[in-house]
Amino acid sequence: MIERFRKKFIAIATAAIGMLLILILSGINIANFTMVAADADQLTSALAENGGAFQEPIPRENPGVPPEEGGDFVPGGARPDGPEKRMSARYFTIKIDGNGNASAMKIAMSEFTVTEAEAIQWAVSLANGSKGWTRVNYRYRVYNYENYTYVSVVDYSRELSPSYRVLWGSLIGSAVGIVITFALLIPISKALVKPLIVSDKKQRRFISDASHELKTPLTIISANNQILEAVYGESDSTKAIDKQVNRLSSMVKNLNALARLDENREVILGELDLAALSSDAVTAVEGSFEAKGVKFSAEIPSSLKYRGDESMLQKLLSILFENALKYALTECEFHLYTVGERICIKVINDADGIDDGTLDQVFERFYRGEAARASGTEGSGIGLSIAKEIVLRHSGRIIAKGENGRFIIKVEL
């Protein structure tokens, strides 16, 4: 159980740190690409305001004097940030009339990048849009100017290149960060669970030692009680002693089973017929239910093959039936069936004080509900915890719930 907890801790911590890295780096890259797109939109907006082509820069009267801010722009005309950017822009603009006839107005790209015919065909395919990215690295804008529809496409691959480097760097950095985090968490998790391992070992040792130490005094008490009954006859006192000795003996038996499960974590798997195993268990207990006046029914298929530990599964069925026999008032049902590839075991019985909803706390060691204590029914709160351990050893799950005054335990293998 501690090893499962350690693996779960590593998985959750790695996922959390990985998610944090992804969120931070995603934010950086989204902001980066958003700024690049905004810059490209300024360029296409300048083309739209100038009729689809940049005008040649007006020579300054005094080239030796630095221009004033905005002095390199033609009055009244929108321009990119400066003449160098304007003159180095790689773009084309296609003009489309009302009849759908398209012609090239301006192609400021190498013919090795796009020919006039390709540019026209490309622009016509974008004419129904507004603005955005096309063919990954190209920003386009569709606008109307002097009764014509214009499509301007700007090559922004050079400007996007640093952004893609940042993106790839982020992806590689995230992957490396997650791997490093995982590698660091392995020794850290071992240090964190070390006190739990020590505590678990002490608990297992205590359970094992206590169960062994209790055997001798219980045997002596039982023997002396039998002597008293033989000499003085059976009385209420000797009956009470015998009852409590049997109760403690049952508890010791369960403690021994729990200690063996804790010490021996190996499951001996083998092919078995779970239907036949269940039928044998039902045959062994149905007389006890009948003697208690509880209506018992079982739904078991003719055959159901499963690979598991036969002795453990016998113990599981015994615990489930023993629990139902203790608390059932008028009825008990047993169902064995399949759902997809999973094998399901369900035991249903009515009982006092059953709340609707999940009741998985019954699988905790030594847990007994208030209703069980108040009913006076004998029990130690160990049986169902053993059942849970057996199910977990078979990579299954077990749940308990209350529904309309009925207690339901469902096992999935």
Alpha helical stretches, state H, 50-156: 83-88, 116-126
Which residues, 6 or more positions from 157, have their beta carbon under 8 angstroms from its beta carbon?
137, 138
Fold of 268-412: Heat Shock Protein 90 (3.30.565)
Specify the pLDDT at position 251.
74
pLDDT over 50 (residue 80): no
Mean pLDDT of 391-407: 89
Specify the pLDDT at position 395.
87
Report the half-sphere exposure of 27 (CA within 13 A, side-chain side): 5
- Tell me: the pLDDT tens digits for 339-385? 888 999 999 999 888 888 888 888 887 666 665 555 555 556 678 88
What counts of helices (H) and strands (E) characterise the chain? 9, 13
- Tell me: the pLDDT tens digits for 33-50? 999 999 899 888 888 888
Output b/e per residue, 68-77; b: 16+ Cβ within 10 A.
Answer: eeeebbeeee
Specify the pLDDT at position 5.
80
User: What is the identity of the amino acid at 5?
Assistant: F
CA distance 78 to 45: 8
CA distance 72 to 399: 77
Phi and psi at residue 367, to the nearest 5° = -80, 135
pLDDT over 90 (residue 31): yes
Specify the pLDDT at position 306.
92
Q: Quick check: 80 and 47 in contact, CB under 8 A?
A: no
Specify the pLDDT at position 66.
54
pLDDT over 80 (residue 79): no
Mean pLDDT score of the chain, rounded to an integer? 83
Q: How confident is the model at residue 278 (pLDDT cuts 50, 70, 90)?
A: very high
Nearest to 317 by CA among 390, 405, 253: 390
CA distance 180 to 172: 12
Give 323's DSSP letter: H
2-49 and 157-232 helices, crossing angle to 10°: 160
* Residue 228 token pair: 């008293």
Higher-confidence position of 66 and 192: 192
> In angstroms, how far apart are the furthest CA atoms of the chain?
134
Specify the pLDDT at position 379.
55
- If you search the block for the tokens 């529904």, which residue do you land on? 403
Specify the pLDDT at position 209.
72
Specify the pLDDT at position 311.
85
Domain boundaries along the sequence of the chain: 2-57+66-161, 268-412
Q: How confident is the model at residue 196 (pLDDT cuts 50, 70, 90)?
A: confident
Length of the chain: 413
Specify the pLDDT at position 238.
85
Specify the pLDDT at position 73.
38
Global pTM reads 0.53
Higher-confidence position of 204 and 138: 138
**143 has which bridge partners?**
150
- If you search the block for the tokens 């130490």, which residue do you land on? 213
- Tell me: the pLDDT tens digits for 200-225? 777 777 767 777 777 778 888 888 88
Least trusted range by pLDDT, from 80-89, 92-101, 117-126, 271-280: 80-89
